[in-house]
A and B are shown apart, each in its own frame.
Chain A
Amino acid sequence: MYRNRRFIAGALIIVVAVGYLIYTGVRETSVYYLTIDEFLSRREAVAGEGVRVAGRVAADSMQWNASTLDLKFRLANFAGSGGVDVTYNGVLPDMFAEGRDVIVEGTYAHDGVFRARTLMTSCPSKYEAEVPKT
């Protein structure tokens, strides 16, 4: 039994190490994942923190400067109302367009602008084409 106990202690070290890594990993890297409506109702509380927001690019809101790669658009809810202004610098993902569902990750500042670090296009139907109803 003595030997086994020593082994359990050894195994516990690994278990504790894994647990510790997960704990600190979550604490240091986790971000809130909010829908645009959730975000709008608590935006002042999460200002300055890393947050991920899912919404839809509002119609006629996209301004894209191809030489500076500056993008501005309004992230609205799925009904197309409300929203927050988002700025982003970088190449547009292939699927990015007005009316598309996107996820932005970045920080919201008290000046009312969401500065996105990453822009993800998440179309739940990405691999599922609509069947043309003819």
Chain B
Amino acid sequence: MIELGALALRLALVAAVYAVLAAVAGARLRRTDVVASSRAAAYAVNGLVVVATAVLLRALLQHDFSLEYVAAYSSSTLPTQYVAAALWGGQQGSLLFWTLLLTTMSTLVHLQNRDRNQALMPYVTTTLMTTAIFFLALTVFVTDPFERLPVPAREGADLNPLLQNYWMMIHPPSLYLGYVGCSVPFAFGMAALVTGRLGDVWIRTTRRWTLFAWFFLTIGNLLGARWAYEVLGWGGYWAWDPVENAAFMPWLACTAFLHSVMIQEKRNMLKMWNMVLVLLTFTLTIFGTFLTRSGVVSSVHSFTQSGLGPFFIGFLAVVIAVSVALLYLRRPLLRSENEIDSFLSREGAFLFNNLLLVGIAFATFWGTVFPVISEAVRGIKITVGPPFFNKVNTPLGLALLFMIGVGPVIAWRRSTARNLRRNFTIPVVAGVLTGVALLGTGLVGNYYAIVCFSLAAFVIATIVLEFYRGTRARQALMGEPPATALVHLVNKNRRRYGGYIIHVGVVLAFVGIAASAAFRVEEQRTMRAGDTVEVGGFALTYKGMRQADNPHVASMLAEIEVARGGRVIATMFPEKRFYKRQQQPTTEVAMRTTWREDLYLVLGSYDQESGLMTLQAFINPLVIWIWIGGIVMVLGTVVSVLPTAAEQRALAAALAVEERGLAVWSE
């Protein structure tokens, strides 16, 4: 069976190479049959990778410890769902999993465009399959998931306990879907560059793919944060760790791209910039994988110091060199047909939003690779930590929050004073009042947080106003009752109103992040059974230690009685676990979440002899709103991704224009 998996990977590599050659040859020679064969080869690659993945999964589920991968990342006592998750728990498996997602998306793209985009598709195939070749070559020649142990192990070493968590089961696949999804718009962008068909067809064709990728990147980032919050037990959810940054940077670039393509669709501008952004997004996804896989930057998550680094750098160099060369060759065609008329216009606002997003991405990139750069330049390693990222990104993030309010409602081309008054008077008043009210309640001390809350009120007011005015207009025009008018309003322009809903989610997340960063309370106390500690209005009483044991894990749970205002409201059990297979202790946080705050308890240490227990207690205000914001973003994306009739017509019209020029060679 194992040989079948290894063989499938090798065949997939051959088929991918064929797909690339046939696609290019077919396009050059204008031979549809050759192009069709490249498409068939791309399907075959997908099928073979599915086989290889199935073989690995089967080996995992059957505990075939003769396989190095299975022995290294699972064990016979590991719960089944984590055995399956071990498929992406280790390096070889995660690369294979990446390849699986990439080739599956390639299949979907090919099916979707069977009869469309005939000029672009061969180069889309080329780009996707070249990426597949890279990953396949890694799994075949460098880090083989089907490597056998010289002597089969009797038992596996188990999956890292930190990964034995349900967030960790869904976080990597989600992030990978996001990463891999970015390669579709990139592939179309490259195809547009090669063929010189630089209109908005490639953008309209891939809009949904971009949203899909963005959607999963967003979820992936949030799930990662959630995982860190629940599992790492240091009281926070984001530490600006290189691995976190690796997922954050493509998200920023992808967000910028999603916004700037609207300017190209509406005003035929920023073509060059859009190409740069799609290239940036794709390279950042590869760079992100490189960061997590190469060990070049030391990280708390530090996966492994494998020899993969040079391969990734090589691939990145090729991607960047080819793309930049194409951009250079095509620059006459990428020139804008329009100019930005005024700062006070939607184009201007979007451009600034883009610059801010890219600015944040750059600052994050710089901070992440700074140790490497400083070592290369000055011969000494200098690092920057979370203070750097917070210091740089907080003001940029706040400016971005402001632009979220401005961008969607400011007029195209040029705003008149009247337009500005009409759209911004109420929101500005709302923002200022919020700020004044907060200062009045004595929340002084953290001005960034207050600015953030004021801006949040400003943005929410612009959005509410948009919904309100749109609904009123429909009520007046169509004579519909308010609720119907609202539903129809959103339905008629899902993309726009879905976008607004996403923005509401982003604002909620901003509020949660600002509140929990600025007003967090932290207390650490060593206690004996019976002791009580007061933290931010809670009285925490340590009642005693409980123990539990099973063949997989042994655990100790501190019983903590939580009281507020003299009334017992909960009993919580922060826990220390000991994973026997890996001989590793882990911390299991106990959490009590409300709309207002999370009470977050960590069993810091326990000394058996003296009976002393150290409790760490955190009160993190409004954290739940980050996750709620995430859910709102998900809903908004779903709304905006559903196609509307008008949009279908726009795509069909754009395609019709394209295909007319192609009638010749589809003969």
Which of the candidate stretches B213-221, B325-333, B388-396, B443-451 sits at the interface with the other chain?
B388-396
CB of B524 within 8 A of CB of A29, answer no
Which of the candidate stretches A55-63, A73-81, A107-115, A123-131 sits at the interface with the other chain?
A123-131
Q: Point out the residues of chain B lying under 8 angstroms from A105, CB to CB.
A: 385
Out of B356, B383, B524, name the residue touching A14 (CB < 8 Å).
B356
CB of A21 within 8 A of CB of B302, answer no
Which of the candidate stretches B36-44, B53-61, B404-412, B608-616 sits at the interface with the other chain?
B608-616
Q: Point out the residues of chain A lying under 8 angstroms from B359, CB to CB.
A: 14-15, 17-18
Q: Point out the residues of chain B lying under 8 angstroms from A54, CB to CB.
A: 298
A49 CB to nearest chain B CB (Å): 11
B139 CB to nearest chain A CB (Å): 17
Q: How far is the CA of A89 from the CA of B338 in the complex (A)?
A: 62
CB of B524 within 8 A of CB of A34, answer no
The answer, yes or no, to whether B370 is at the interface (CB within 8 Å) is yes
Q: How far is the CA of A68 from the CA of B364 in the complex (A)?
A: 38
The answer, yes or no, to whether A72 is at the interface (CB within 8 Å) is no
Q: Point out the residues of chain A lying under 8 angstroms from B370, CB to CB.
A: 26, 30
The answer, yes or no, to whether B419 is at the interface (CB within 8 Å) is no
Instruction: List the B residue with the shortest CB-CB distance to A129.
Output: B157
Instruction: List the A residue with the shortest CB-CB distance to B356.
Output: A14
The answer, yes or no, to whether B163 is at the interface (CB within 8 Å) is yes
Q: Point out the residues of chain A lying under 8 angstroms from B298, CB to CB.
A: 54, 103, 122
Q: How far is the CA of A20 from the CA of B363 in the complex (A)?
A: 11
Q: Point out the residues of chain B lying under 8 angstroms from A69, CB to CB.
A: 524, 526, 604-605, 614
The answer, yes or no, to whether B584 is at the interface (CB within 8 Å) is yes
CB of B604 within 8 A of CB of A91, answer yes
CB of B340 within 8 A of CB of A126, answer no
The answer, yes or no, to whether A4 is at the interface (CB within 8 Å) is yes
Q: How large is the interface on A (under 10, 10 to 19, 20 to 34, 35 or more residues)?
A: 35 or more
Q: How far is the CA of A26 from the CA of B89 in the complex (A)?
A: 34
The proximity string for A residues 82-121 relative to B, scoring 1 for CB distances below 8 Å and 0 otherwise, is 0000000011101100000001010000000000000010
Q: How far is the CA of A10 from the CA of B348 in the complex (A)?
A: 10
CB of A66 within 8 A of CB of B371, answer no
**Given A25-B392, A29-B391, A31-B382, A91:B614 Cβ within 8 A:** yes
**Given A6-B343, A91-B524, A129:B158 Cβ within 8 A:** yes
CB of B339 within 8 A of CB of A3, answer yes
The answer, yes or no, to whether A41 is at the interface (CB within 8 Å) is no
Instruction: List the A residue with the shortest CB-CB distance to B383.
Output: A33
**Given A3-B339, A11-B355, A69-B526, A91:B616 Cβ within 8 A:** yes
CB of A21 within 8 A of CB of B392, answer yes
CB of A18 within 8 A of CB of B362, answer yes
Q: Point out the residues of chain A lying under 8 angstroms from B391, CB to CB.
A: 21, 24-25, 28-29
CB of A124 within 8 A of CB of B526, answer no
Q: Point out the residues of chain B lying under 8 angstroms from A52, CB to CB.
A: 383
B242 CB to nearest chain A CB (Å): 12
**Given A91-B605, A126-B160, A128-B304, A7:B526 Cβ within 8 A:** no
Q: How far is the CA of A103 from the CA of B342 in the complex (A)?
A: 52
Q: Point out the residues of chain B lying under 8 angstroms from A3, CB to CB.
A: 339-342
B356 CB to nearest chain A CB (Å): 7
A123 CB to nearest chain B CB (Å): 8
Instruction: List the B residue with the shortest CB-CB distance to A96.
Output: B585
A134 CB to nearest chain B CB (Å): 5
Q: How far is the CA of A94 from the CA of B54 in the complex (A)?
A: 35
Which residue among A11, A105, A127 has the maximum number of chain B CB atoms within 10 Å of its CB?
A127
Instruction: List the B residue with the shortest CB-CB distance to A90.
Output: B524
A120 CB to nearest chain B CB (Å): 6
Instruction: List the A residue with the shortest CB-CB distance to B306.
Output: A128
**Given A4-B339, A30-B382, A128:B72 Cβ within 8 A:** yes
**Given A25-B392, A124-B295, A30:B610 Cβ within 8 A:** no
Q: How far is the CA of A32 from the CA of B384 in the complex (A)?
A: 9
B413 CB to nearest chain A CB (Å): 12
CB of A127 within 8 A of CB of B72, answer no
A28 CB to nearest chain B CB (Å): 7
Instruction: List the B residue with the shortest CB-CB distance to A7.
Output: B340
CB of B157 within 8 A of CB of A25, answer no
Out of A22, A68, A122, A132, name the residue touching B302 (CB < 8 Å).
A122
Interface residues of B in 345-374 (CB under 8 A from A): 348, 351-352, 355-356, 359, 362-363, 366-367, 370-371
The answer, yes or no, to whether B387 is at the interface (CB within 8 Å) is yes
Instruction: List the B residue with the shortest CB-CB distance to A128.
Output: B304
CB of B160 within 8 A of CB of A129, answer yes
Q: Point out the residues of chain B lying under 8 angstroms from A18, CB to CB.
A: 359, 362-363, 392, 396
The answer, yes or no, to whether B553 is at the interface (CB within 8 Å) is no
Interface residues of B in 151-181 (CB under 8 A from A): 151, 153-155, 157-158, 160, 162-163
B560 CB to nearest chain A CB (Å): 16
Instruction: List the B residue with the shortest CB-CB distance to A123.
Output: B302
**Given A7-B348, A129-B72, A25:B388 Cβ within 8 A:** yes
The answer, yes or no, to whether B582 is at the interface (CB within 8 Å) is yes
**Given A124-B304, A126-B301, A129-B157, A10:B385 Cβ within 8 A:** no
CB of A22 within 8 A of CB of B363, answer yes
The answer, yes or no, to whether B224 is at the interface (CB within 8 Å) is no
Q: Point out the residues of chain A lying under 8 angstroms from B15, CB to CB.
A: none
CB of B610 within 8 A of CB of A67, answer yes
Instruction: List the A residue with the shortest CB-CB distance to B386.
Output: A29
The answer, yes or no, to whether B607 is at the interface (CB within 8 Å) is yes
**A-B contacts, 8 listed (Cβ < 8 Å):** A7-B351, A17-B359, A18-B362, A22-B366, A25-B384, A33-B371, A131-B157, A134-B154
A sample of 15 more A-B contacts (CB under 8 A), given A7-B343, A30-B384, A90-B524, is A4-B339, A10-B343, A15-B355, A30-B370, A30-B388, A31-B382, A31-B383, A31-B385, A66-B526, A66-B610, A91-B524, A91-B616, A105-B385, A127-B303, A131-B68
| Residues of chain B at the chain A interface (Cβ within 8 Å) | 68, 71-73, 89-91, 149, 151, 153-155, 157-158, 160, 162-163, 295, 298-305, 339-343, 348, 351-352, 355-356, 359, 362-363, 366-367, 370-371, 380-385, 387-388, 391-392, 395-396, 524, 526, 582, 584-587, 602, 604-607, 610, 612, 614, 616
| Residues of chain A at the chain B interface (Cβ within 8 Å) | 3-4, 6-7, 10-11, 14-15, 17-18, 21-22, 24-26, 28-34, 52, 54, 66-69, 90-92, 94-95, 103, 105, 120, 122-134
The 7 A-B residue pairs whose C-beta atoms are closest, nearest first, are A91-B604, A66-B607, A129-B157, A18-B359, A33-B381, A29-B387, A29-B388
